[in-house]
């Protein structure tokens, strides 16, 4: 059984990292408008290919429901998150990283929570230092949604869990070579 470690980047860190890289280029497939007076969220994105700054990139990856009550699925949101990750990865070239390394380390130091040890973090940084964005692969868990006690849940079949575990194990085996 593998022991997976935790590494989380908070919203502010995501915004700062996207801004540091000069934004991300994505295709917004539909109008996104959503307001939440409780947490101050105000999303306003129009359809089309565009470069989003950090705040708008966060809105793009977080968007779930329009003010009119229509919403996209969580799978649509995962697809947008993958699109944003691919765009960001494409901007993280070795030269760009070298010129912005101190700023990146400050952003990550202030906005990342992790259970990784210093040695594990160092190994991860070495992997990403030689990372080729052309090799980025993304996937999503495929399950079935169901409603229970007033909330939606996703039931993931055991075969799907095994598929993802195998992918992660294969990646980690390749990364340690």
- pLDDT score recorded for residue 174: 56
Domain 7-124: which CATH number of 3.40.640.10, 3.40.630.190, 3.30.360.10, 3.40.800.10: 3.40.630.190
Q: What is the pLDDT of residues 47-105, one digit of tens each?
A: 999 999 999 999 999 988 766 666 667 778 888 998 998 898 888 766 666 677 778 77
H or E element: which one contains 23?
Answer: none
Instruction: State both tokens at 139.
Output: 């996937």
Q: How far apart are CA 78 and CA 16, in angstroms?
A: 21
- Which pLDDT value is given to residue 67? 65
Predicted pLDDT at 2? 43
Residue 140 token pair: 């999503």
**φ and ψ of 73, to 5 deg:** -80, 165
- H-helix or E-strand spanning residue 49: strand 48-52
Please tell me the distance from the alpha carbon of residue 27 to that of residue 60, in angstroms, as a whole number: 10
Predicted TM-score (pTM) above 0.85: no
Q: Where are the domains of the chain?
A: 7-124
Over pLDDT 70: what percentage of the chain?
76
Place of tokens 């997976």: 4
């Amino acid at each position: 059984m593998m022991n997976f470690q935790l590494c989380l980047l908070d919203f502010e860190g995501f915004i700062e990292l996207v801004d540091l890289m000069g934004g991300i280029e994505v295709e917004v497939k539909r109008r996104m408008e959503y307001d939440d007076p409780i947490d101050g969220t105000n999303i306003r994105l129009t359809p089309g290919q565009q470069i989003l700054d950090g705040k708008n990139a966060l809105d793009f990856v977080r968007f779930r429901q329009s003010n009119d009550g229509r919403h996209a699925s969580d799978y649509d949101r995962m697809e947008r998150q993958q699109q944003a990750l691919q765009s960001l990865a494409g901007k993280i070239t070795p030269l760009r990283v070298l010129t912005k390394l101190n700023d990146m380390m400050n952003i990550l130091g202030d906005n990342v929570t992790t259970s990784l040890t210093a040695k594990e973090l160092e190994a991860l940084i070495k992997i990403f230092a030689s990372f080729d964005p052309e090799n980025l692969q993304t996937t999503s868990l495929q399950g079935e949604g169901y409603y229970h006690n007033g909330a939606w849940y996703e039931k993931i079949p055991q075969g799907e869990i095994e598929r993802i575990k195998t992918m992660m194990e294969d990646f980690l085996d390749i990364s340690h070579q």
